Amino acid sequence: MAGKVALLLWAQTLGLAGAQTTQLLVEPPWRPAVLWDRVTLTCQGSGTAGATTWYKDKQQWWQQGRDHFKVTERGIYECYRPGSGFSSPVGVFDDELVLQVPAQALLEGDTVTLRCRGRHDNPVTEARFYQDVKDLGGSLTGTELSLSPLQLNHSGIYHCRGRVGSGMSMSAAVTVTVHDLFSVPVLEGPPEPTEGSPLTLSCLSTPSPLRPRAPLLHVFYRDGQVVGGPQGSPQLLVPAVGVSHSGHYSCQVRSEEGNVRKSSARLRVTVRMPVANATITLSPLAHQVSTGDNVTLRCSVQVGSAPVTFTWLHNGQEVARGPLLELGDIDVGHSGTYQCVATNQLGQDGHRVFRALSPELALEVTPGSAWLTAARKQQER
């Protein structure tokens, strides 16, 4: 039968991707259209309305006509505008039973109803609906199928079957295509920020060009717990990260109504300690002191978070702990190289540790001399 053709729902894409396309609008806004609705077709595209050429059943039908008209014959209609080309086809049916869907682009989360209609609105009973030959059920009197909220798995080929008058009829097949409202998000950000530095995580998702201004909300998670949002901004900003900010992050994008939700893959963020530099200062500051005097060595780090543990080495052997090393009554036995080791371990997983080794400080006491010479050596790497 001529009416039993698959109809692909076309998307209104005027002005998308920088290119204008010809659109064939139908009123009332249902597809396929039915002859008894006194349908009006309107051609929109570049150029003047008088430049419209109409086609019916793939044959040129009305050249240089008006941009709209009221349909009086069943068929498959297209229009052509010189600057934007051919429109998608629109079917106008006059079948005993017709399954209709809204004449608009269908996106996730939409509220959509399909309706099964008899010719000239004759009553339909025992209506049943099918998706890809799967029986979706029906009732003795119901003639509508609600797909709400729309999901991607609602895409498919639909038809309905019902009793009109004394006989059973089957509608033509209608292809329903559900488009993504937005893409699956990707979470991006530095995986190893330095403690104290700012951290910005971006939840990147592309809205559908069919509805580019759809309001979207973003929620950020760390180890499954919400740490940001719901918010309109796709970014999570931590002004200064600490060790506690380490973890597995993910983000979720939601429609404003909340009926469409998509989550990113997890991103492991490990906060690293900054490079710490340990130094030794000598007190008194003079490099030469008299034998028998007291000398104090002080170890400090320029960066890093408390608590810091200091360990003193004399000729590579541990001799003391703490930030100060007191050397009393200096003699030949104090000669040698001194270093301090500064360490800091934060957190419970042992991943954020710094270990800073100071340059060597050489102390030399010459037998029989009344002077102590102190000199720094470069740290061996």
pLDDT of residue 244: 87
Which residues on neighbouring strands pair with residue 187, listed in sequence order? 203
Model pLDDT for residues 211-268, shown as the tens digit of each residue? 988 899 999 999 999 999 899 999 999 998 888 899 999 999 999 888 999 999 999 9
Q: Which of 3.10.450.50, 2.60.40.10, 3.40.640.10, 2.170.120.20 would CATH assign to domain 7-179?
A: 2.60.40.10
Q: Give long-range contacts, CB 8 A cutoff, 24+ apart: 223-232.
A: 223/247, 223/248, 230/254
Q: Which residues contact 293 (CB under 8 A, 6 or more apart)?
A: 329, 330, 372
pLDDT of residue 347: 46
Model pLDDT for residues 61-88, shown as the tens digit of each residue? 876 668 888 999 999 999 888 888 899 8
More confident residue, 138 or 320: 320
Indicate the range of 93-102, 245-254, 294-303 predicted with least confidence: 294-303
Q: What percent of the chain has pLDDT over 70?
A: 80
Considering the segment(s) 186-269 as one domain, its CATH architecture is Sandwich (2.60)
Model pLDDT for residues 103-112, shown as the tens digit of each residue? 888 999 999 9
Number of Cβ atoms within 10 Å of the Cβ of 8: 12
pLDDT of residue 34: 94
Q: What is the CATH number of domain 278-376?
A: 2.60.40.10
Q: pTM, whole model, 2 decimals?
A: 0.65
Domains 186-269 and 278-376 share a fold: yes
pLDDT of residue 368: 56
Task: Give residue limits of the domains in the chain.
Answer: 7-179, 186-269, 278-376
Model pLDDT for residues 123-182, shown as the tens digit of each residue? 999 899 999 989 988 766 689 999 889 999 999 999 999 999 888 999 999 999 999 999
CA 179, CA 109: separation in Å to the nearest integer? Answer: 10
Which residues on neighbouring strands pair with residue 26, listed in sequence order? 41
More confident residue, 336 or 230: 230
